[in-house]
A = this chain, B = another copy of it.
Amino acid sequence: MSSIKYDIVKEVGIISTTTSGWKKELNIISWNNREPKYDLRDWSSEHEKMGKGITLTAEELKSLKELLNNMDI
């Protein structure tokens, strides 16, 4: 058995919640004791299960912000 260690260092915010309680969240997470990164991911209600997601550096989050601010949404 393999395992992935992770530590949710900071819960930044919730993007959406489904009727089943899963949430799309932006957190700061340390994976396998490495340097914490921003992490955009689906989670079950109490963080028991994780879904797909991606990690982002602070720089990437910043350029995502600029991109979104230049969009007509």
**A62 contacts which chain B residues (CB < 8 A)?**
73
A65 close to B63 (CB less than 8 A):
no
A69 close to B65 (CB less than 8 A):
yes
**A52 contacts which chain B residues (CB < 8 A)?**
52-54
Interface size class of A (residues with CB under 8 A): 20 to 34
**A63 contacts which chain B residues (CB < 8 A)?**
15-16
Contact with B along A49-73 (1 / 0, CB 8 A): 0001110111111111101111101
Considering the complex, give the chain B residue whose CB is closest to the CB of A25: B67
Distance from A23 Cβ to chain B, minimum over Cβ atoms (Å) = 11
Cβ-based interface call for A21 (8 A): no
A59 close to B16 (CB less than 8 A):
yes
